[in-house]
A = this chain, B = another copy of it.
Amino acid sequence: MTTLPTSSPLLLPTPLGGTLVNRVGRPGHDFDPAELKGLPRLELSDRSSADLEMLATGAYSPLTGFLGEADYLSVIERLRLADGTPWSIPITLPVAREEAGLYTGRVVLTRGGEVVGTLDVQERYSARKSLEAREVYRTEDPAHPGVAALYAQGDVNLAGPVTLFEVPRGNFPRHHRTPLEVREVIEARGWRTSVAFQTRNPIHRAHEYLHKVTLELVDGLLLHPLVGQTKGDDVPAATRVKAYEVLLDSYYPQARTLLSVYPAAMRYAGPREAILHALSRRNYGVTHFIVGRDHAGVGSYYGTYEAQEIFGNFSGEELGIKILKFEHTFYCGACGQLVSPRTCPHGREHHLVLSGTRVREKLRAGEALPAEFTRPEVAEVLREAYAAQG
């Protein structure tokens, strides 16, 4: 198992820590599958399975596995790994305290009972759930989905380097690419600058506007919707990806756009998660990352601009990826175009703003979404998805 050199004629951004971690190794190549017999087995949750993939493919470089206690506390308390590298969310593997003693040495990781990888346990330590909730999620309210997940998980974290046997290609194999594979596309297309955009929401013209604004200045756009675990009331990933596909077919320059899924699970940690999202996109090889209002937020736990302001904790060099901070965007009838409060001088009476709730109501009622709000092709995908639910 090696780390891959990342030099390139295009000088893509170096991964965090300098090299792209690669902990993907197939049994029989990098080690003997017979070695796994008799080892303790640990069934992964949705989130831990996503974390395993993110770690092993280098999306979470420089991490090579689940965090040990020193890194865990350092990330929580000072937004950095113990060695000072920026990091915002502890990537941990929690197990129930009563089972923790089972896991020593090499542990076999399973998913639905299938072996997917291994963990070499180097540490076991107690999670500080209250501290973690307060610092990472900025609330101990169990109604917060990230806090709820934290409180529901085991009390002991296992730590150590992981191995993933095979990159899962999930539900979107055509759009599923590791950081190295995304880097290869960027190099092949010659994008000297590129911007990643993530949303867990369906794509509307307000998002398209951000993409187009950015594409006027940056060579390529990585549309990188998060398809890992989300809240039950978020629009399903399949519908969101389908909406991207039809939108790209009709309205985006093919050579400058890459749709690829981001397999991480949502934590809804707002500002802290915005940093994780940005650092991870640096590992995918992009130079810019879009952070809008209330990025990765939920409810009203975070201030509108906190997810933008938190980047002020780091120097540009430390981040290694440029943050593009955008305002709320919407259609203005007086301007006759998509705008934001930064560009439009007109009053609210000219603005077409629909809340997520209102959009869902319209879709449930089978009503059309205005073309200034959603491209007709996307509206049709959403309408069909709601009709199928109906």
Q: Which residue numbers of A lie inside 8 Å of B, CB to CB?
A: 210, 212-213, 215-217, 250-254, 256, 324-327, 335-345, 371
Contacts and interface: CB of A to CB of B under 8 A. Distances in A.
Contacts of A256: 342
A256 to B, nearest CB: 7
A252 to B, nearest CB: 6
Given A337-B338, A339-B212, A345 B252 contact: yes
20 contacts: A210-B216, A212-B337, A213-B216, A215-B342, A215-B343, A216-B326, A216-B327, A216-B340, A216-B342, A216-B343, A217-B217, A217-B326, A250-B345, A251-B335, A251-B345, A253-B342, A253-B343, A253-B345, A336-B371, A337-B338
A152 to B, nearest CB: 40
Contacts of A344: 253
Nearest to A332: B251
A301 B253 CA distance: 30
Contacts of A212: 337, 339, 343
A343 to B, nearest CB: 5
Given A212-B337, A216-B340, 11 more contacts: A210-B216, A212-B339, A213-B216, A216-B343, A217-B217, A217-B324, A217-B325, A251-B345, A253-B342, A253-B344, A254-B345
A250 B216 CA distance: 24
Nearest to A217: B324
Contacts of A252: 345
Which one of A216, A251, A336, A339 has the greatest number of beta carbons of chain B within 10 Å?
A216
A324 B217 CA distance: 7
Contacts of A339: 212
